[in-house]
Amino acid sequence: MYNIIGQALFISVLISFTLSGMALLVSRRSLTRSVFLAGFYADVLDFFYLPLRQIFLKFSDTRVLDKWMSSLKNRAHASAFAKTKKRVILAPHCMRSLDCPAHSTQTGIQCKLCGKCVFTQLKKDAEKYGYKVFIVTGSSFVKNILKMEAADGVLLIACDYEINKVMRALKGKKVITYGITMENDGCFGTKVDYQKVLGVFEDLKS
C-alpha cells in the first residue's frame, strides 16, 4: 500500500516538474515568437507560480519569471482581446509628472490634461480606439474600477510583476487582459515606449 502511494507521489512530482519546465521554456520563447498552446501553458505557470517564484528568487530574478508569464499570456489573450467591446486602460501613477496638479479619487488619479506628462496624449489617443484611461496608485484600485466600469477588456501598462499580478487576480473574472511593459521600474519617473502603446492599439483594435 505504501509502495503504491510512494510511486503515485513520485509520478505526480515528475509530471509537475515536466509540465512546469515545458511551460517555462514555452514562455521564454513567447518573447520573440508565437507559441502553441499558450493558454494551457499559462495556466500551468499560474498553478505553479508560488513554488516557481521561490526558485527564481533563489537562483535568478523573479522579474524574469513575471516577464515570461506576462508575455505568454499576451500571446494567449491577443485574439480574444481584439474581440472585446468595452475596454479600459489601467496605468500607473508613477508615469505622471512630479508636479502633477491632479488629485486622487476612489478610481485613481483624475488627469487634468495639463500636458506635463504622457497621460495627456495617452487619454486622447485611447479615446480614439475606444479605451477609457484610469491612472491607479496601486493594484487595489482595480477592483473598484471594474465594479464601476463593465469592461470586458483590460489593457495594463505597468512593470512585469504588476502586469502578471493583475492578470492572475482577474483570471476567471470575465475580462480579457493584455499587458504593455514599461521601460523601467520604480515609484516615480517611469516611462513606456509610446510607439509600442500605439502599436498595441492598432494591432488589437476591434
**pLDDT at position 108, please?**
85
DSSP state for residue 116 in the 8-state scheme: S
Q: Report, as an integer, the average pLDDT of 18-31.
A: 96
Between CA 147 and CA 64 the distance in angstroms is 32
**pLDDT at position 94, please?**
92
CB 134 within 8 A of CB 90: yes
Using one digit for the tens of pLDDT, what is the confidence trace for 48-99?
999 999 999 999 899 999 999 999 999 999 999 999 999 999 999 999 988 8
Q: Report, as an integer, the average pLDDT of 17-31.
A: 95
Between CA 15 and CA 35 the distance in angstroms is 21
**187, pLDDT greater than 90:** no
**5, pLDDT greater than 80:** no
Using one digit for the tens of pLDDT, what is the confidence trace for 119-136?
999 999 999 999 999 999
Q: Average pLDDT of the chain?
A: 91
List strand residue ranges (DSSP E) for 17-92, in order.
Answer: 87-92
Residue with cell 515545458: 22
Between CA 65 and CA 174 the distance in angstroms is 25
Residue 138's pLDDT band (cuts 50, 70, 90): confident
Q: What do you get for the CA distance between the two ends of the chain, in Å?
A: 57
**pLDDT at position 166, please?**
95
Choose between 182 and 143: higher pLDDT: 182
Residue 159's pLDDT band (cuts 50, 70, 90): very high
Cα dihedral: 174, 185, 122, 39 (round 10)? -30
Residue 107's pLDDT band (cuts 50, 70, 90): confident
Q: Which residues pair with 154 in a beta bridge?
A: 88, 177
Helix (H) or strand (E) holding 68: helix 62-81
Whole-model pTM: value is 0.92
**29, pLDDT greater than 80:** yes
Between CA 159 and CA 166 the distance in angstroms is 11
Q: Which of 52, 89, 162 is nearest to 41 (CA)?
A: 52
Provide the greatest CA pair distance for the chain. Answer: 72
